[in-house]
């Protein structure tokens, strides 16, 4: 049990968010909901429309969450983007706090209901068709055709609505999507069958084929929907923690209000077991559960006046919370925004899927038209030519390729967040997979906490005042060890990085500098060593052993003395130590390693680590790091356990492997499926089943352990 500020609060600071999103100070990021997007063609269409707007600096679609994140230029709002997307035929609306909260799996229920109706009707039509296939007479055959039509047409009118609605919107906007060929196939099968029924000239109809195609497509879409739900992002999980209402305390009693109505300095009542809806200050001591934000299961003690983050659970006793931030500025919302930046960013492989989406409409539809012309010319059979063209359109849908990267990114980024690592950069996962060298800072990163040095009250007060004026990890550790002591009244405090901090005490110069055994206090008449008995951070030895076991080079860099650095290195099993390194030389060390072909992960927490964190191939910082270090890093370890470093690199390599596997699966599928369809070996029904299975396979590969 510990008493500490929430790592989620620390990681979700506005400065960290701004740095992670890489946008100008006056730029504005918004989210728009796109409930009808389904495929790579939709992604390319949305991003293409937005790219042509002067008000939009950047746009990235999140297919799994069905929304787009837009970075607007200063002085613009979302109106132009909304209008342009509406004109292009996309259903779009702005997201608010309510829209961001999932309201249950309504989409899944609707898909199941439509699939059930299509399946029931399909079985009945097939039962009726047995008599026709068995050689029924003309009058009996015609009667059964009318019975089949009476069953099939109402069922198709209900079950095929998702395909027809999506296709009609796309066609009215002058574009194509994956539902256009599907709707065409269903419509052709039903219309041809209805014509044969009215004309009474054909021996067979295809009502059962239309229903079967609809049924299997709906089942495939539902399975894909469930697979995506399994791979839902960490951003979605954080958003799901948001609460719609809170109990506000007023002069006249209690009132229930929307969370969006809460303002700073409002008081709200939280029952034991309740989740905090906004950030605030605890007006009383309490235990909280931060596992949803940091991944750590142990309860944390928060003293009166301590911070509480949105999403944390109050344990044991009711609490009054003084609100410090509005709901839209809460830590929970900021963390969700940071995670989504990482999940929806462009990867090295993203260009492959984007190019495939742009080529989909002209190439595939041209190929289907060519197949139709060739087969009609060769066989003279219009029905067969239409079937081949339809199968080609359906089977070549690039959904598997569109899902190959975002499904993996969402699944693995979410898994990392649940393990206590928040990635802020959209390319961090890819760069972390390439790491072969890990460089740890010592004080504050590999170590935490120090024993209180034995000092008399006057000397301790001077040491505390100097330590509080410094951002060096050793100074912060000393200040933490001397807590409870009243600091001396010093003037003209100044810190020189790498040299120490000094000031005037009773008109005499005093300073705190690095000595042989740690910080050393220099008074007018003497110097006093302040040896800090450091303890390794939890999981440090395990992280080093795991990294070395995977063949990585592990090194330590510190401004401390070689003797102290090597003692800790021997304890942790680190073979390479760079001691007595000045702050400006840490970045140079990272550059030298990179020049030798090493891909360096820098793990540090201090102001003197900032340049090295920014210059490394990838970087991580503990949640206890200074704000500058957290901003400069690609990710923040929300928990206190350093074993998260090894877990992060392991999962990053797994993500890279899964992306390559998914791209290979998608390419292999199209390489086999397209020739099979063009050569007439696949019916529209077979194409629907194969197309759905390819998307499901890609998503399942992304989420498997």
**At residue 428, does pLDDT exceed 50?**
yes
Of the candidate ranges 12-16, 309-313, 656-660, the one whose mean pLDDT is the lowest: 12-16
Contact 322, 265 (CB under 8 A): yes
**At residue 4, does pLDDT exceed 70?**
no
Question: How large is the average pLDDT for residues 311-325?
Answer: 86
d(CA 397, CA 39): 8
Highest mean pLDDT among 273-277, 331-335, 338-342, 693-697: 273-277
Question: How large is the average pLDDT for residues 116-139?
Answer: 77
Question: How large is the average pLDDT for residues 130-149?
Answer: 73
Other CB atoms within a 10 A radius of the CB of residue 45 amount to 25
Contact 41, 28 (CB under 8 A): no
Tell the burial category of 116 from Cβ atoms under 10 Å away from its Cβ (0-12, 13-18, 19+).
middle
> Contacts from 520-526 at CB under 8 Å and sequence distance 24+?
521/459, 521/462, 521/463, 521/466, 523/459, 523/462
pLDDT number for residue 40:
63
Q: How confident is the model at residue 15 (pLDDT cuts 50, 70, 90)?
A: very low
pLDDT number for residue 627:
64
Question: How large is the average pLDDT for residues 329-340?
Answer: 68
d(CA 652, CA 257): 42
E strand or H helix that includes residue 662: helix 643-678
Among positive and negative, which fits the CA dihedral 556, 562, 568, 573?
positive
d(CA 23, CA 527): 48
d(CA 36, CA 107): 11
Non-local (6+) Cβ contacts of 390 within 8 A are: 181, 184, 185, 188, 368, 684, 687
Q: Which residue has the higher pLDDT, 178 or 451?
A: 178
pLDDT number for residue 545:
93
Alpha helices in 90-206 (DSSP H): 106-133, 138-159, 161-172, 179-199
**At residue 228, does pLDDT exceed 60?**
no
Non-local (6+) Cβ contacts of 48 within 8 A are: none
pLDDT number for residue 495:
80
pLDDT number for residue 14:
46
pLDDT number for residue 188:
77
**At residue 507, does pLDDT exceed 70?**
yes
Candidates 179, 441, 605, 634; catalytic one: 441
Question: How large is the average pLDDT for residues 243-270?
Answer: 87
Q: What is the mean pLDDT of the chain?
A: 78
pLDDT number for residue 20:
38
Of residues 278, 293, 310, the one with CA closest to residue 237? 293
pLDDT number for residue 474:
73
Of the candidate ranges 165-174, 431-440, 625-634, the one whose mean pLDDT is the lowest: 625-634
Q: How confident is the model at residue 18 (pLDDT cuts 50, 70, 90)?
A: very low
DSSP letter assigned to residue 251: T
d(CA 385, CA 687): 15
pLDDT number for residue 417:
78
**Percentage of the chain modeled with pLDDT above 90:** 13
SS3 category, 498 = coil
**At residue 16, does pLDDT exceed 80?**
no
**At residue 292, does pLDDT exceed 80?**
no
Please write down the HEC assignment for all residues of 406-447: HHHHHHHHHHHHHCCEEECCCCHHHHHCCCCEEEEEHHHHHE
Summarised one tens digit per residue, pLDDT across range 510-548 is 998 877 666 888 888 888 887 766 778 888 899 999 999
Question: How large is the average pLDDT for residues 127-151?
Answer: 75
Among positive and negative, which fits the CA dihedral 623, 629, 631, 636?
negative
pLDDT number for residue 63:
67
Contact 509, 502 (CB under 8 A): yes
Q: Which residue has the higher pLDDT, 143 or 652?
A: 652
CA-to-CA dists, residue 8 to 100, 428, 622, angstroms: 20, 19, 11
Highest mean pLDDT among 282-286, 418-422, 639-643: 282-286
Summarised one tens digit per residue, pLDDT across range 539-585 is 889 999 999 999 999 999 987 778 878 888 998 999 899 988 876 68
**At residue 51, does pLDDT exceed 80?**
yes
Enter the tokens of residue 534.
Answer: 């450091």
pLDDT number for residue 482:
80
**At residue 616, does pLDDT exceed 80?**
yes
pLDDT number for residue 437:
94
Question: How large is the average pLDDT for residues 302-311?
Answer: 84
Q: How confident is the model at residue 698 (pLDDT cuts 50, 70, 90)?
A: confident
d(CA 602, CA 635): 11
Task: Reply yes or no on whether 441 is catalytic.
Answer: yes
Q: Terminal CA-to-CA distance of the chain, rounded, Å?
A: 31
Summarised one tens digit per residue, pLDDT across range 141-153 is 778 888 888 999 9
pLDDT number for residue 26:
46
Other CB atoms within a 10 A radius of the CB of residue 536 amount to 17
pLDDT number for residue 137:
63
**Helix%, strand%, coil% for the chain, nearest 5:** 55, 15, 30
Of the candidate ranges 249-253, 333-337, 611-615, 650-654, the one whose mean pLDDT is the lowest: 333-337
pLDDT number for residue 529:
84
Give DSSP secondary structure letters for 46-70: HHHHHHT-TTEEEEEEETTTTEEEE
Of residues 272, 275, 277, 279, the one with CA closest to residue 319? 272
Other CB atoms within a 10 A radius of the CB of residue 103 amount to 7
Of the candidate ranges 117-121, 127-131, 563-567, 662-666, the one whose mean pLDDT is the lowest: 127-131
Of residues 19, 210, 174, the one with CA closest to residue 89? 174
d(CA 515, CA 363): 71
Q: Which residue has the higher pLDDT, 211 or 298?
A: 211
d(CA 189, CA 386): 10
d(CA 25, CA 185): 51
Q: How confident is the model at residue 359 (pLDDT cuts 50, 70, 90)?
A: low
Could you tell me which residues are beta bridge partners of residue 577? Answer: 556
SS3 category, 233 = coil
């Amino acid at each position: 049990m510990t008493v500490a500020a929430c790592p989620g609060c620390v990681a979700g600071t506005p400065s960290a968010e701004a740095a992670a999103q890489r946008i100008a100070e006056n730029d504005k990021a918004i989210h728009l909901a796109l409930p009808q997007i389904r495929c790579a063609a939709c992604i390319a269409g949305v991003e293409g429309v937005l790219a042509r707007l002067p008000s939009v600096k950047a746009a990235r679609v999140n297919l799994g969450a069905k929304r787009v994140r837009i970075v607007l230029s200063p002085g613009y709002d979302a109106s132009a983007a909304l209008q342009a997307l509406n004109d292009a035929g996309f259903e779009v609306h702005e997201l608010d706090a309510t829209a961001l909260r999932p309201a249950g799996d309504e989409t899944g229920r609707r898909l199941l209901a439509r699939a059930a109706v299509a399946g029931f009707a399909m079985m009945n039509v097939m039962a009726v068709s047995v008599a026709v296939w068995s050689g029924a007479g003309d009058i009996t055959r015609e009667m059964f055709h009318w019975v089949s039509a009476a069953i099939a047409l109402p069922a198709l009118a209900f079950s095929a609505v998702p395909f027809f609605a999506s296709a009609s919107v796309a066609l009215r906007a002058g574009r194509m999507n994956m539902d256009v060929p599907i709707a065409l196939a269903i419509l052709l099968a039903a219309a041809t069958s209805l014509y044969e029924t009215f004309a009474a000239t054909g021996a067979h109809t295809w009502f059962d084929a239309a229903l079967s195609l609809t049924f299997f497509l709906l089942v495939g879409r539902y399975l894909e929907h469930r697979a995506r739900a399994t791979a839902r992002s960490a951003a979605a999980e954080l958003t799901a923690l948001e609460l719609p209402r809170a109990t506000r305390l007023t002069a006249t009693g209690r009132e229930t209000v929307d969370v969006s109505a809460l303002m700073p300095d409002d008081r709200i009542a939280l029952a034991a077991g309740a989740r905090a809806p906004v950030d605030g200050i605890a007006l009383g001591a309490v235990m909280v559960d931060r596992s949803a934000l940091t991944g750590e299961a142990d309860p944390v003690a928060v003293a009166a006046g301590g911070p509480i983050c949105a999403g944390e659970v109050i344990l044991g006793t009711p609490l009054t919370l003084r609100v410090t931030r509005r709901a839209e500025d809460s830590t929970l919302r900021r963390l969700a925004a940071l995670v989504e930046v990482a999940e929806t960013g462009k990867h090295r492989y993203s260009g492959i899927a984007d190019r495939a989406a742009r080529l989909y409409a002209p190439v595939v539809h041209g190929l289907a038209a060519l197949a139709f012309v060739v087969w009609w010319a060769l066989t003279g059979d219009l029905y067969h030519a239409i079937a081949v063209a339809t199968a080609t359109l359906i089977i070549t849908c690039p959904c598997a390729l569109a899902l190959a990267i975002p499904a993996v990114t969402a699944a693995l980024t979410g898994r990392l967040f649940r393990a206590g690592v928040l990635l802020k950069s959209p390319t961090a996962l890819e760069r972390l997979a390439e790491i072969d060298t890990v460089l740890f800072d010592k004080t504050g990163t590999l170590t935490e906490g120090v024993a209180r040095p034995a000092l008399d009250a006057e000397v301790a007060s001077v040491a505390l005042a100097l330590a509080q004026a410094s951002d060096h990890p050793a100074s912060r550790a000393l200040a933490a060890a001397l807590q409870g002591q009243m600091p001396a009244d010093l003037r003209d405090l100044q810190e020189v990085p790498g040299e120490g901090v000094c000031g005037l005490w009773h008109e005499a110069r005093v300073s705190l500098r690095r000595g042989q055994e740690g910080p050393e206090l220099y008074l007018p008449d003497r110097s006093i060593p302040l040896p800090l008995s450091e303890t390794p951070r939890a999981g440090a030895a395990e992280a080093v052993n795991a990294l070395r076991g995977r063949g990585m080079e592990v090194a330590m860099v510190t401004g401390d003395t070689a003797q102290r650095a090597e003692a800790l290195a021997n304890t942790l099993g680190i073979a390479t130590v760079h001691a007595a390194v000045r702050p400006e030389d840490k970045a140079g060390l990272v550059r030298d390693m990179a020049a030798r072909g090493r891909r360096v992960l820098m793990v540090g927490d201090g102001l003197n680590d900032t340049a090295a964190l920014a210059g490394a191939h990838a970087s991580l910082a503990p949640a206890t790091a200074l704000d500058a270090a957290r901003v400069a890093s690609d990710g923040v370890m929300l928990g206190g356990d350093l074993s998260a470093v090894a877990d992060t690199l392991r999962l990053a390599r797994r993500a890279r492997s899964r992306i390559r596997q998914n791209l290979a699966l998608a390419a292999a599928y199209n390489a086999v499926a397209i020739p099979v369809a063009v050569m007439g070996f696949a019916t529209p029904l077979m194409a629907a089943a194969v197309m759905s299975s390819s998307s499901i396979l890609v998503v399942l590969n992304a989420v498997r352990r």
